[in-house]
Amino acid sequence: MNSFESAIALQKDSNLASSTVINLADLTANPESYDFFTFRPNLEKLILAGKADTQHISILWYTVLNGQVESHYHDKTESVYVIKGTQTDNKGTYPTDSLYFNPPGSSHKISNSSGFFILAYASPPDFANTNDIADYTPVYINTAVPNLEESYPFTEVQNGVLRYDIPLVPEGGMSALFIKITSPESYQYTGNYLLVITGSCTIDGIAHDEKLLIVSKSIEPQSYQIKTTEGHSCLCLGLSFTNTHIQQSV
């Protein structure tokens, strides 16, 4: 049983049975244990939910230090989280722990990139019908900033829970937010993936440390109950292919 299968097997008796759970530290250390396939020359891809020709969540792995992807167009929003390494396009270079969203109508070319990335497409990239790179502004957040909740307008949604909805255009088919939790009371999140960025969370009754990625196996959003692990706080990133999130105390 490889690391990918083991992560799933650990969750069979929990509410996470309908999700894939990946330790990103293990993935970057042992990528050969996961079911990557060749997406582009020197670029491997691991599909986590959905299919390559529609909206999906995946992990990209550049197997060379100067990885490239030819120009392509995004009809809907694209999300990229840099697990380890850097990604460079015409808008700049994004280091480890960067999160950025390219809006619908954007087009770019990747160059001088290396490492591993969580990728979410509200619709697949179009490599056939590209024009000149469009003028657009990505939404960029450096999640490594200390006390992220002090840098953005987080709102308290219940005792011990702060939330920041990332400003994405509704027509992009994707929404995302950060959840900062310091409370042992359950908080419900509904979406397609959760990433524990810092700290330790209990999600559906199981403790998850930072750099744990939870992805709904279905393209349909999944509900998760989040609270702090005793003596800890946590910061999570949630992403959904719907334009609304369901969050409430339970």
- Regarding whether 162 and 104 lie in a shared domain, the answer is no
CA distance 62 to 234: 29
Which pLDDT score is estimated for 132? 66
For residue range 147-190, what is the model confidence (pLDDT) as tens digits? 899 999 999 999 999 999 999 999 999 999 999 999 899 999 99
Which pLDDT score is estimated for 116? 98
Among 200, 191, 208, 180, smallest CA distance to 23 is for 208
Which pLDDT score is estimated for 12? 53
Residue ending a domain, choose from 109, 142, 175: 142
Q: Cα separations (Å) of 88 from 12, 36, 214?
A: 39, 22, 26
Residue ending a domain, choose from 142, 174, 203: 142
Is the pTM value of this prediction over 0.85?
Answer: yes
Residue bearing the bigger pLDDT, 231 or 33: 33
Kindly tell me if the per-residue pLDDT of 250 is higher than 70. no
- Regarding whether 152 and 107 lie in a shared domain, the answer is no
Query: In one letter, which amino acid is 213?
Result: L
- Regarding whether 29 and 102 lie in a shared domain, the answer is yes
Kindly tell me if the per-residue pLDDT of 7 is higher than 90. no
CATH number at residue 228: 2.60.120.10
- Regarding whether 89 and 26 lie in a shared domain, the answer is yes
Find the domain containing 55 and state its range: 3-142
**How many separate domains does the chain show?**
2
